[in-house]
Amino acid sequence: MDRSQATSANLMDTHNRLIADILTHYRTLIMLATIQAEGERSNSNPETISVAGISMEMAFDGLYSSIKELLALSRRIKELWVFGPLNQSDTQSQAKEDRIDRDVSEVAGLLDMIDANAMKKLAERCGGTWELQERPTETAPTTGS
């Protein structure tokens, strides 16, 4: 198992732990919110209500922190995917990027020709002339891995 696979497994373990924490805190909140509605027991005394209120605050704080950690993990995964080792599993990524750049250049050229023909027809209809001015080709910035 290489380093990137170990990192991916670790991230998945962290993700699964955070999801389990969120579900546990949510379940606890629901149970505490319905403590007064339990059948035979009378849970309407002030002590029980205050304990349930404090417990709900603690469960909500735990839920809030788990959600924040999950969002931070999501952001980290996105950063690793864009900038780091999670994007390196594709060995042909450079060839794909080059092909995409060529396709983009070809499509841009075709669109320029369509615009040039439309402008030429418009100019001729109005009694003028129009020519496409060639601009120097700019090299697209390359992305490094």
pLDDT at residue 92, rounded to an integer:
76
pLDDT at residue 1, rounded to an integer:
42
pLDDT at residue 73, rounded to an integer:
95
**Segment 64-73, tens digit of pLDDT:** 999 999 999 9
Chain position carrying tokens 């999670």 = 86
- 92's CB contacts (< 8 A; 6+ apart) are none
Which residues of the chain, if any, have pLDDT below 50?
1-2, 144-145
pLDDT at residue 39, rounded to an integer:
56
What span, in angstroms and rounded, lies between the C-alpha atoms of 105 and 32?
61
pLDDT at residue 55, rounded to an integer:
92
Q: What angle do CA 90, 96, 99 make, to 5 degrees?
A: 175
The DSSP element (H or E) to which 115 belongs, if any, is: helix 93-125
Chain position carrying tokens 């100019």 = 123
